[in-house]
Amino acid sequence: MRAVAIVGVGMHPFGKFPDKRLRELAKTAVDAAVADAGCKLEEIEVAYVGNAYEGILNGQESIRAQVVLRHAGLSGIPMMSVENACASGSSAFREAWAAVASGLYDVALALGVEKMFVGDTDRTVQAIATSSDVDRTRGTGFTFTGMYGESLRRYMGKTQTTAEHFAKVTVKNRANAVNNPYSQYRQATSVEDVLNSRTIAGPLTLLMCAPIGDGAAAAIVCTAEKAREFGRKPIWVKASAWVSGLPRKGEDLEAVPSAAERAAKQAYEQAGVGPQDLEVIEVHDAMAPAELTAYEELGLCAKGEGARYLDEGHPYLDGDHPVNPSGGLSAKGHPVGATGLAQIAEIVWQLRGEAAGRQVTGKDGSGPKLGLTQNGGGHIEGDAAAQLVHILAR
Amino acid sequence: MRAVAIVGVGMHPFGKFPDKRLRELAKTAVDAAVADAGCKLEEIEVAYVGNAYEGILNGQESIRAQVVLRHAGLSGIPMMSVENACASGSSAFREAWAAVASGLYDVALALGVEKMFVGDTDRTVQAIATSSDVDRTRGTGFTFTGMYGESLRRYMGKTQTTAEHFAKVTVKNRANAVNNPYSQYRQATSVEDVLNSRTIAGPLTLLMCAPIGDGAAAAIVCTAEKAREFGRKPIWVKASAWVSGLPRKGEDLEAVPSAAERAAKQAYEQAGVGPQDLEVIEVHDAMAPAELTAYEELGLCAKGEGARYLDEGHPYLDGDHPVNPSGGLSAKGHPVGATGLAQIAEIVWQLRGEAAGRQVTGKDGSGPKLGLTQNGGGHIEGDAAAQLVHILAR
């Protein structure tokens, strides 16, 4: 396999854009990634597009990749739409990485894009529920917030974690997002405000949950040779790990390792690093409290120790392992198909030292050298349907 | 890139199965492919699933791969749903091939599955229309049959082709399908019956159009070493070509080569063969007359000579270049996501000499040695959104 460089990333801000169509969100991200890479649009040889709900919400199914990329000026090249629910963006990134690593193509585009704000929350919530096994969940009142709530209540019962800890994650991530121009929320908040916001599915309150929104993110990956040609300092893909969940039923979920744990383990092995080496991390906090279990699944701390890890300050912007400097899903926003690629973009900016206002300093003060993204998608039999972990380095 | 062998293929028959869900169709095809390969289900390392309309028609979006494969007994491994409209099945095959060719995995599964018969033709027709750019076609009366009709009228105006020629394609393919146990239609027909059947979009009549139906097809691909281990005589993937259409507007469509032409050219170059070397061919005749232009796009005959090529007998089962021995889309059926993999399955059976009743003999009478599949998907700005051509050899 060949070394793969990320040479360009770009985003459309996350938020509610009632006047923009999917293709317009996509074009902004693609244009920005191409400009960032210093290449020409025509140099892209293959493209993968991650999107989850455009068919159900806006009626465009089947050829989403071609429709949005034609608007961005791309045609003729091989294109494919890929899906893995909330991990659709990193699934597109994975395929683009493999396309270059394999030797099949020298320059590949990965795009994630989603338009979830359609002015009707019920319709959007129903669309989100299609990321479960609908034959089993339909008519059962299943929602992702309900599922997270149940899982968090169980977690609280087994550990010393309190609702205040969950609120603290939101407070940390909202503070980070203040300085992220792509973020849907850009106001700081307090533990008190988070706990006093409307209960969605106890212990989850409104401010702990990722908002409904629209957005896009893109990355251009290429060979070392092409990176030199484009003149952009490359960020290297050191690991690309991808798994689906194993069935985890009943109370004793830990009898089976989670998909996130298994993906992280694979990624560390591929990159030849461990969790202690990570200097900047983006995790899948669709509900802010999930960040605590992500610390554990990534091996940053022991099982059940997520709250302590937070209390000790490690995952803060000035901690030794900053998590979600972008604001994460709960503060930056979570337009499903775009999320995985927004995580990639954030880590690229951090590794380049371009994350003004939210830049982490790295172990030796010269900026971070090694970063990780963890992106989970969907729910099936007690676990994520897909988990992808990427490790990036400058 | 490593050599990639197809060691197992399997199908669920194409047809209308009101009592079966998507996962049940999928399981039958996966079980059959695994049995055919002589491997264990647990030996599959990665899986790609092609499907187009399950979200819109039956409410399962986002994690279609995991839902259907969990039912077939697969979990934990990396899985992804991929889409390219009617070319979703060969897109899944393409990614599975690349996964093995690249060295990332030794054994990969590609599955195509679709459930289009929902007891409401209007809903299914609307779902099919989502394989166009809906922002441009919505409210314009666009249908794929209408688009094919217009294109065929133009073709008739430029060539000596008549409606009888179109009917002859149907008659040929229906005759082939009589001996295909997986075919949706298994009755022979006549030119007269085809021309007298209801007009759908002149010159297209009902019997020229692929029916609405359900079905699934799967293939297991692996390395040469694994093929030896499984003990199955391999069919080799000699070429995998994949393109999207370029904009082709107005009357002079031939000013821009079609996506099918470009994909075929790439495939011949990869395999080091030409159209005259092909001994068995499956093409994308979603409407039977499209087979005539496919002859031309694949280089079997010159532009505008499709009807003559048919009249001379070349594409018949006993001709020198048999086309659609399975019955093709118009007779075998066209459950969209399954079609590309059903083409692969047919060519594998033909190359192994296992296509009882519809077996082609090959140039030297010992059975065909080289076959091709051509699978197109979607419509955007005057061309297919995706075209995939694969060349297989024993």
CA distances to B268, B279, B297 from B273, in Å? 5, 12, 15
Helix axes A163-177, A290-297, angle to 10 degrees: 90
B350 CA: distance to closest CA in chain A (Å):
28
Distance CA B145, CA B129 (A): 10
Q: Which residue among A66, A82, A104 places its CB closest to the CB of B98?
A: A104
pLDDT at position A248:
87
For B1-53, what is each residue's pLDDT tens digit? 999 999 999 999 999 999 999 999 999 999 999 999 999 999 999 999 999 99
A334 assigned to active site: yes
Distance CA B187, CA B170 (A): 11
For B107-132, what is each residue's pLDDT tens digit? 999 999 999 999 999 999 999 999 99
List the pLDDT tens digit at each of the 394 positions of chain A: 999 999 999 999 999 999 999 999 999 999 999 999 999 999 999 999 999 999 999 999 999 999 999 999 999 999 999 999 999 999 999 999 999 999 999 999 999 999 999 999 999 999 999 999 999 999 898 999 999 999 999 999 999 999 999 999 999 999 999 999 999 999 999 999 999 999 999 999 999 999 999 999 999 999 999 999 999 899 999 999 999 999 987 767 778 999 999 999 999 999 999 999 999 999 999 999 999 999 999 999 999 999 999 999 999 999 999 999 999 999 999 999 999 999 999 999 999 999 999 999 999 999 999 999 999 999 998 999 999 999 999 9
- Cβ-Cβ contacts under 8 Å for B151 (sequence gap 6 or more): none
Q: Quick one: pLDDT band at residue B255, thresholds 50, 70, 90? A: confident
Q: What is the mean pLDDT of residues B178-201?
A: 98
- Cβ-Cβ contacts under 8 Å for B274 (sequence gap 6 or more): B268, B299
pLDDT at position A35:
98
- What's the whole-number average pLDDT of chain B? 97
Catalytic residue among A86, A209, A222, A301: A86
Rounded to two decimals, the ipTM of the complex is: 0.98
Question: Is residue A202 classed exposed, middle or buried when 0-12, 13-18 and 19+ CB atoms within 10 A define those classes?
Answer: exposed
CA distances to B24, B176, B257, B349 from B345, in Å? 19, 16, 28, 6
Q: Quick one: pLDDT band at residue B198, thresholds 50, 70, 90? A: very high
- What backbone phi and psi angles, to 5 degrees, belong to A261? -60, -45
CB contact under 8 A, B76 and A245: yes
Q: CA of A385: which chain B residue's CA is closest?
A: B66
Distance CA B295, CA B281 (A): 10
Q: Quick one: pLDDT band at residue B249, thresholds 50, 70, 90? A: confident
- Taking alpha carbons only, the member of A95, A121, A300, A131 closest to residue A212 is A121
| Entry pTM | 0.98
pLDDT at position A255:
82
Q: CA of B83: which chain A residue's CA is closest?
A: A81
For B311-362, what is each residue's pLDDT tens digit? 999 999 999 999 999 999 999 999 999 999 999 999 999 999 999 999 999 9
Cite the DSSP H helix spans in chain B: 22-37, 54-58, 64-71, 88-101, 121-129, 134-137, 144-158, 163-177, 191-196, 224-230, 259-271, 290-297, 306-311, 328-332, 339-352
pLDDT at position A343:
98
A86 CA: distance to closest CA in chain B (Å):
8
Single-letter amino acid code for the residue at A256: V
CA distances to A158, A297, A307, B12, B292 from A304, in Å? 8, 10, 8, 47, 66
pLDDT at position B208:
98
pLDDT at position A232:
87
Interface size A-B, in CB pairs within 8 Å, comes to 209
Distance CA B307, CA B293 (A): 9
Element containing residue A74 per DSSP (H, E): none
Catalytic residue among A165, A284, A321, A334: A334
pLDDT at position B251:
64
Distance CA B311, CA B267 (A): 27
pLDDT at position A251:
64
For B75-98, what is each residue's pLDDT tens digit? 999 999 999 999 999 999 999 999
Cβ contacts of A134 on chain B, cutoff 8 Å: 59-60, 67
- Taking alpha carbons only, the member of A155, A154, A146, A95 closest to residue A125 is A146
Q: What does A293-349 look like in DSSP terms, one character per residue?
A: HHHHHTTSS-TT-HHHHHHTTTTSTTSSS-B-TT-HHHHH---HHHHHHHHHHHHHH
| Tokens coding A283 | 């995790």
What is the dihedral angle through the alpha carbons of B301, B305, B311, B313, rounded to the nearest 10 degrees? 0
| Tokens coding B193 | 């019956």
Residue to test with chain A: of B23, B48, B56, B80, most A Cβ within 10 A: B80
